[in-house]
Structure 1
Amino acid sequence: MTLAPRAVLVHRRTEYEELLAHHGTPGQAAFFLSSRGRSVAEVEARHRRQGEALARAAAAVPLDWRRTRVERADLPRFLFEPEDVVVVVGQDGLVANVAKYLDGQPVIGVDADPGRNPGVLVRHRADALPALLPGAVARSAARHLDERTMVEAVADDSQRLLALNEVYVGQPGHQTARYRLAVTEAAAASRPVAEAAAEPQASSGVLVGTGTGATGWCRSAWLERGGPLDLPGAAAPALAWFVREAWPSPATGTSRVHGLLDPGRQLVLTVESDRLVAFGDGIETDALELTWGQTVRLGVAATRLRLMT
């Protein structure tokens, strides 16, 4: 017997909910905001709009479907199923937060607060869901999916991380990171990188980003360099990488500070610090822990975000 599709509604706590969790009562939250020149009314209004969007999204789920909700903080512990249709209600960044935990499930981005979000990834209003949800599981669904490239980081101890925008590798506090950097063929992933092929570096860390991430952190690094290369498109199977603030010294070089990676190539970092981390899309609490001598390989992921257009 085939399981019915399951709608997974993904959301995050609103600013108002966070204020209540911290201050205890609506009155205390209002007093805190007023003491800093802000009105609780605008925060309550955004909270109400998200609640309404979530309610409309839940009401749009077909009666014969299964359904559940998951808050952003619980995503690392949530088990997505192959039959899921993921409905992200919130901001563009929330789509990036959930993408790393998926394996091909279709995603519908719902803008909970139109006018405040760019709407690049949350393209739809909740009122469109009655038509979008059945279409997400129809045979013709592939024609309505925008597939976006993701970046993958894999450590030599099998730790693995996916990201939609970018992966950062460096010190947790963004201080000087020491490592050896090389660009290799993906087919050579099982072989160690020859020391002569890797450049020792000291920098503020390394960014490896997708075309989706080319509008954010990676674009900042790209602009600082004066646009030295063409950034990939969102669907292009390529990544851009940048070394942040590489430091030249007798022991460290700066000859490799940016480049592009196609599916056949990987960026390889071998750690020469007590501790480095690799995290994706700004979520520092979900990071790979890397210690002296470990190697991490970054490249185009086989998994892609499948976003309903």
Structure 2
Amino acid sequence: MNTPRVVIVHRRTEYDELLATHGTRGQAAFFLRTRGRDIAELEERNRLTRKAIETATAAIPVDWRRGSVERTDVARFLFAPDDVIVIVGQDGLVANVAKYLQGQPVIGIDPEPGRNAGVLVTHPARDLGELLRATDHVSERTMVQADLDDGQHLLALNEIFIGHRSHQTARYELRPPGARAESQASSGVLVSTGTGATGWCRSVALERASRLRLPAPHEPRLVWFVREAWPSPTTGTTLVEGELTGNSLELTVKSDQLVAFGDGIETDSLTLTWGQTLRVGIADRALRLVG
């Protein structure tokens, strides 16, 4: 029987990216000074991240297998079913990685306690050894999935946005579960999980003083909002928010081209053309967080 494999996922720090762009520390420091920043701050944050990765790596039992992958390579990395995923970084990195997993336990390590929100990266690196012995104790966070009628699909941990690529007016027909369809023109549609309900979704709900109860992170329920629906002789504004449990929200495209993307990553999107139908609902998998 194979021993477990721990895969540490991280991303390049801002300091590393600056060195890659400017070549030397001196040039990077000069660039930052022209923008009122001090390179010492970035060096310290880089040191903390490297220390967290080193501490986490040292906590892996010597007889366990191990691997490491940088964020830009995650899409090409082959995760095994019995892997334990250790993510060192900000909360957003967990969201970026979640859609590539198939139920593997995830441990979020915060390299900069007090700087990150710590919603998904909830543990210090020094606790990893104990956490690796408790990977059966997980909490599941609901994810959202969009399925296009040509077989393409998209997963997200926080939210999925459907709209125009350049944020111009999007035209479509919207059909919530159990309701009639309505033709709309708007700034787009946002479908959020409970994890995403603390971010973009919450700002929309607060702005319009919505009375819709936002879901908790582990709750198998989604909420959706139409942003800035525009009334006209051919478009309505009666269907602007709601919730999803077992059914899907359907959207049929009435524009030349729309896009759907998850967790704010516009580079990883579905392209929707005239007449295509997208269905958005609770995903058939969840993020399994340890601790």
TM-score higher than 0.5: yes
Cα offset for 1:158?
A: 1.0
Q: Does 1:223 align with 2:203?
A: no
Q: Does structure 1 residue 252 correspond to structure 2 residue 235? A: yes
Q: CA separation in 1, counterparts of 2:103 and 2:133?
A: 17
1:288 is aligned, of 253, 270, 274, to 270
* Correspondence for 2:284: 302
Match for residue 157 of structure 1 among 150, 157, 163: 150
Q: Which residue of 1 aligns with 2:103?
A: 104
Task: Letter of the 2:289 partner, please give it.
Answer: L
Q: Name the residue aligned to 1:12.
A: 11
What is the SS of the residue equivalent to 1:289?
A: strand
What are the equivalent positions in structure 2 for 1:51-200 lying under 5 Å apart? Answer: 51-136=50-135, 141=136, 144-184=137-177, 197-200=180-183
Greater shift, 67-76 or 33-42, is seen at 67-76
Which residue in 2 is equivalent to 1:189? none
Shift of 1:20: 1.0
Q: In the TM superposition, what whole-angstrom CA distance separates every residue of 1:242-301 from its partner, at most 9, and x where no partner exists?
A: 001111111111110000111x21100111111111111011111111111111100011
**8 Å contact kept, 2:134–2:290:** no
**8 A contact 1:4–1:83 mirrored in 2:** no
Identity within the alignment, %: 65
Kindly provide the CA deviation profile for residues 181-228 of structure 1, in whole angstroms up to 9, marking residues without a partner as x.
Answer: 00137xxxxxxxxxx932111111100001111100000110112022
SS of aligned partner of 2:84: strand
Give, in angstroms, the shift of residue 66 of structure 1: 1.6
Give, in angstroms, the shift of residue 101 of structure 1. 1.0
Q: Equivalents in 1 of 2:232, 2:77: separation in Å?
A: 46
Structure 1 unmatched runs, 5+: 186-195
For 2:153 and 2:2, the matched residues in 1 are separated by 29
Letter of the 1:240 partner, please give it.
V
Task: Look up the match of 1:232.
Answer: 215
1:64-102: CA deviation from partner (whole Å, max 9, x where unpaired): 222111111222222211011000101111111111111
State the TM-score, normalized to the length of structure 1. 0.92
Contact 2:174 2:183 in 1 (8 A): yes
Number of residues paired by the alignment? 291
Q: Aligned partners of 1:285, 1:73: CA distance in 2, in Å? A: 12
The 8 Å contact of residues 154 and 298 in structure 1, kept in 2 or not, is answered as yes
User: By how many angstroms is 1:179 displaced?
Assistant: 0.7
- TM-score computed with the length of structure 2 as normaliser: 0.97
Residues 215 and 222 of structure 2 are in contact (CA less than 8 Å); yes or no, is this contact kept in structure 1? yes
4+ long deviations beyond 4 Å: none
